[in-house]
Amino acid sequence: MNEQLSNALVSIQEQEAQESEKPPSTRPRPARPWRVAVIANVRGQSAPTDHQAEDAGAEFDKPETIQAIQAAIESDGHSTIFLQADASLPGELQRFYPDICFNIAEGLGGDAREAQVPALLEMMHIPYTASRVLANALGLDKTMTKRIWREAGLPTAAFQQFEQGDEPLDPVLRYPLFVKPAREGTGMGMGEHSIVHTEEELRKQVQWVLNNYRQPALVESYLPGREFTVAVLGRPDACSYSRKPEAYEPDGFVRFPVLEVDNNGTATPGVYGYLTKTLHTGEKGVPRFLCPAPIPQRLSRQLQELAIKAHKAIGALDVSRVDMRLDNAGNPRLIEINTLPGLTPNFSDLCVIANAHGWTYNELILEILILGASRFGMLQAVEPIALPKIKEYAQISRK
Ligand SMILES: Nc1ncnc2c1ncn2[C@@H]1O[C@H](COP(=O)(O)OP(=O)(O)O)[C@@H](O)[C@H]1O
Ligand SMILES: [Mg+2]
């Protein structure tokens, strides 16, 4: 080997050694298969840090959900590992060096716990699925989300945030009102007691939220009408990467059937609260889930379009689930958006909805993974299917 060539080889080896010491970068990534880290907070293994309310940590996942996600990803030939979303995560990420993370982590405390893992992954230049930092922070904060929706002209119930408890009530708010923690999920802090009819009940409930959840209380007009939840999946360029391109409409979003949650006669009548959300199918007090919702096609389309607008308004990416109710005039009002919707097979709303649309659990998980990977240059865009063909499909599916 001549000297020039051997010097060049040494230099390449040195460069490679330096490269491997670098923190993970988004490029280059292997075409496939990928090393995928499923990141979550598992019940009993992660502890919430902020408050000790009875239902603290209710959003944390069960090991079976993680296993189901891993199995779905592995069914496509990738290897997976589970990483706990706690203080061990930065070290574990350095050690495992995933090509991409499938993020469902609820996070541990602070004002934007659902944004903690995305923020860490951004800092480490590691690709991940679903929404980025800001949308996850906003989505968790129901008051901030409503401010953005209001600014965007989207319909949401009138509201006021209480931080001290003794703030004068905004005169636009009329009883009955609904009181909830501003930054939780899974019905935490919500039940029949959330509906208040008098100043005395209001003050008591606001104080209870402030004391128990150590965060502001959100007070809204009570929405007495039917309740719906709408799944959002897609992005303008989604069908260039999707395994199911025919499922996307020309704007890049899937129109899944609307799910109606019938709260009559449940464990927390009229409210899809914590107690009701933790019951299992078949148990007494479970709401009736109707998918597709028995509503006129026009209303269903209106709810689907509203959900997509709500998703885009906060900058959510790829997947979310939007909760709504009808007000006393029968008009839809946005309640909240879930940027990390639950993914427990045959149980979580998003899984039930996808299933009602003819999608398997594995198809749903892989679609979320593929959409995430495509944002980081890990997939080559396939030839987008001809627009007329999509339009044709859209018309058929709307009938
Ligand atoms: N303004 C409201 N009016 C009537 N019911 C409400 C209102 N806000 C919330 N709820 C009820 O409480 C449930 C949980 O509220 P939500 O804001 O979706 O919290 P979570 O993040 O825990 O799902 C809703 O599904 C609905 O049944
Ligand atoms: Mg909800």
**CATH for the stretch 158-221:** 3.30.1490
pLDDT digits (tens, 9 = 90+) for 271-295: 998 888 888 778 888 899 999 999 9
C-beta of 227 in contact with ligand 1 (< 6 A): yes
In DSSP notation, 171-220 reads TT--SSEEEEETT--TTTT-SGGGEE-SHHHHHHHHHHHHHHHSSPEEEE
Ligand 2 centroid–CA 184 distance in Å is 9
Length of the chain: 399
Closest residue (by CA) to atom 11 of ligand 1?
271
Ligand 1 mutation target, pool 188, 271, 337, most atoms within 8 A of CB: 271
For the chain, percent of residues with pLDDT exceeding 70 = 85
pLDDT digits (tens, 9 = 90+) for 157-170: 999 999 999 999 99
Residue-range domain boundaries for the chain:
27-128, 158-221, 227-398
Q: Which atom of ligand 1 is nearest to the CA of 270?
A: 27
Reported as a pLDDT band with limits 50, 70 and 90, residue 41 is: very high
pLDDT digits (tens, 9 = 90+) for 309-358: 999 999 999 999 999 999 999 999 999 999 999 999 999 999 999 999 99
CA distance 209 to 150: 24
Segment 121-138 shows an average pLDDT of 98
pLDDT of residue 27: 43
Ligand 1 centroid–CA 264 distance in Å is 14
Most confident of 285-289, 367-371, 377-381: 367-371
C-beta of 228 in contact with ligand 1 (< 6 A): no
C-beta separation of 120 from 37 below 8 A = no
Q: What mean pLDDT value characterizes the chain? A: 88
pLDDT of residue 24: 38
The residue that leads in pLDDT, 55 or 211, is: 211
C-beta separation of 240 from 382 below 8 A = yes
**CATH for the stretch 227-398:** 3.30.470.20
In this predicted structure, the answer to whether residue 25 has a pLDDT above a threshold of 60 is no
Ligand 2 centroid–CA 187 distance in Å is 7
Reported as a pLDDT band with limits 50, 70 and 90, residue 384 is: low
- Give the distance, in angstroms, between the CA of residue 120 and the centroid of all CA atoms in the same chain: 18
Strands 259-262 and 227-234, by their bridges, are antiparallel
C-beta of 59 in contact with ligand 1 (< 6 A): no
Question: What is the side-by-side order of every strand in the sheet holding 35-40?
Answer: 79-84, 35-40, 100-103
CATH T-level assignment (fold) for domain 27-128: Rossmann fold (3.40.50)
One-letter amino acid at 95 equals R
- Judge whether 27-128 and 158-221 match in fold: no
Closest residue (by CA) to atom 15 of ligand 1?
187
C-beta of 274 in contact with ligand 1 (< 6 A): no
C-beta separation of 322 from 337 below 8 A = yes
pLDDT digits (tens, 9 = 90+) for 232-250: 999 999 999 999 999 999 9
